[in-house]
Structure 1
Amino acid sequence: MTSGTPKTAGPAPERPRRGGPRAGVLGSAGLYAATGLAALLFLVPFYLIVRGALSTDPEITGEEWAFFPSDIQWGNITEPFEDPTVDFARSLWNSAVVGTLHTVGTLLVCSLAGYGLARIPYRHATKVFYAVLGTLMVPTAVTFVPSFVLVSSLGWVDSYRGLIIPGLFSGFTCFLFRQYFLGFPRELEEAARVDGLGHWGAYWRVVVPNSLNFFAALATITFISGWNSFLWPLVIGQDPSAWTVQVALSSYMTNQTVNFHLIFMATAISILPLVCVFLFLQRWLVQGIAQTGIKG
């Protein structure tokens, strides 16, 4: 006679993983190998810059290749600063000022525009947003000459204002801020409005302090872009005292001579600030890019 108590089914047997643990080890090894190879390829240009910076011109242009110079030329480090034709220290300072102010101004202007498009109710907000996106389709060459004419008429040639102000607004950065603010928790802003804060107070006291990762990510990208800009500083900085570091680097190459070791050393010095900024902000850079909200 069978019992009336129903039998409980035991847990389903776990299916063995396809390939077993060995496949997982091989997959991890392949992933690490591919990552290491990619990292090595990205480091090759840096190796070539350092090697050329500590070599002589015959070693750089010679037919025989050596992994590293036999006699390291440490004196090349001070040579860019001793060149009487180019004030390299001044150009580094100009790039630092332009890159910093350009980053701060771009983040402020574009974050305010993105927050306004995402949060402030306005009948034509969508049209304004589409107009901002439309600026991304206009080639830079189309606006280059009108921008220069405007800057020249204002008397901003050979000045920080001419180097910084025309590039403060970026349609793509505004788009990223809007997408991010659309996914920002509204509950925090509603709590701020209960405390009597308006749109500006909610933005400055609630949104910005809780979005530092995203701001740091865009700050890194914007600073690198401002530091590496060449064409606009070349046209605006006509006097050598207004040259940025990229313009100063181009002056080492003339129709008559090319000083290879000087170019390599100046390049190595010019990328050190970018490496320091990236190493300092890389943690926030990865987290901020993951929070762009583009998927939404």
Structure 2
Amino acid sequence: MRKILGTALTYLAIGVAAALFLAPFYFMLRAALMSGRQITDLDWHWLPAPFTLQGFKDVFDDPSVPMGHALWNSFLIAIVTAPLSTMLGSMAGYALARIPVPGRGVVMTFVVVTLMIPTSATFVPTFVLVSAMGGVDTQWGVIAPGLFNAFSVLLFRNFYLKFPQEIEEAGRLDGLGHLGVYWRVALPNSGAMLASLGALSFLESWNAFLWPLVIGQDPESWTAQIALSTFLTSQTVNLPALFAGAVVTILPLVAVFLVAQRHIVQGIAATGMKD
């Protein structure tokens, strides 16, 4: 009886937690399918009555907000940033973990220190540098500053420190150098880490707002998050379009998370951070 009660309480707690996490999605989708009058109505409505897709229509029909092009910009930036930043983090992490060069401990210290520097402290110097190189209103100007991720380097270093050296020694017996061992042995066995950090990088890049806002001054350079913010201004607030746009912009994130959630857990666990 005690075991049954414990199981029931566990499922109840899981159900309550799931409801709390899913509640924002429910409220967002509910408002996206309502009219503006229904959203601001003082009487609560659990479901839209009637359902309307006008908000979704307004999102893509507004001539002042290129939402379709903004979604493409966000997708292109995220799909380029995620694999490049993950590969750079993997290569740097392997070098710091396996290549015995003088000063690698100092380099690792500087990498860790960069995690402690607030983004606000480097924002202006980064903008001045990217602007001087002609990166304003360009996609590479948004992508370049996010390619080096100290967090990825740290996780990959921890992962490769625990990687079996016997496997690497077998590669060296076949005449492979450090690059060959990394490319043919270590990298193919880093699938979980690559998938998890690649997914996290995609989510971070897709959700970025402040840096793309400063760099993308022309509407043609806007990302989805910037385009979405234009539905909330000091003059007018198009609530159905705002919530409909939020639904549209969050769908790729939900898809990536559902596909990669198992790899994210496995990748973080593989770093041995619990030890």
Shift of 1:190: 0.8
Q: Following superposition of structure 1 onto structure 2, how do residues 1-296 of structure 1 map, counting pairs within 5 Å?
A: 22-296=1-275
Structure 2: how far apart are the matches of 1:77 and 1:177?
41
Measured against aligned partners, the alpha-carbon deviations of 1:52-77 in whole angstroms (never above 9, x if no partner) come to: 10000111111001101110002433
Instruction: Using the TM superposition, give the Cα deviation of residue 287 of structure 1 relative to its aligned residue in structure 2, in angstroms.
Output: 1.7
Amino acid in the other structure paired with 2:36: D
Distance 2:197 2:3 in 1: 36
Structure 1 residue 142: Cα displacement: 0.6
What CA distance in whole angstroms lies between the structure 2 residues aligned with 1:220 and 1:25? 38
Structure 1 length-normalised TM: 0.91
Segments of 5+ residues of structure 2 without an aligned counterpart are: none
Unaligned runs of 5+ in 1: 1-21
Bigger radius of gyration among the two? 1
Deviation of 1:132 (Å): 0.5
Given that residues 158 and 271 in structure 2 are in contact (C-alpha distance below 8 angstroms), is that contact kept between their aligned partners in structure 1? yes
Percent identity between the aligned chains?
A: 49
Q: Could you tell me how far apart the structure 1 residues matched to 2:238 and 2:196 are?
A: 36
Measured after TM superposition, the shift of residue 206 of structure 1 is 1.1
Partners of 1:29 and 1:94 in 2: how far apart? Answer: 47
Q: Give the partner amino acid of 1:86.
A: V
Q: Give TM-score scaled by structure 2 length.
A: 0.97
> Structure 2 CA distance, aligned partners of 1:23 and 1:191?
53
Cα drift, residue 79 of structure 1:
2.3
Alpha-carbon distance in structure 2 between the residues aligned to 1:157 and 1:282: 34
Secondary structure of residue in 2 paired with 1:66: coil
Tell me the matched-pair count. Answer: 275
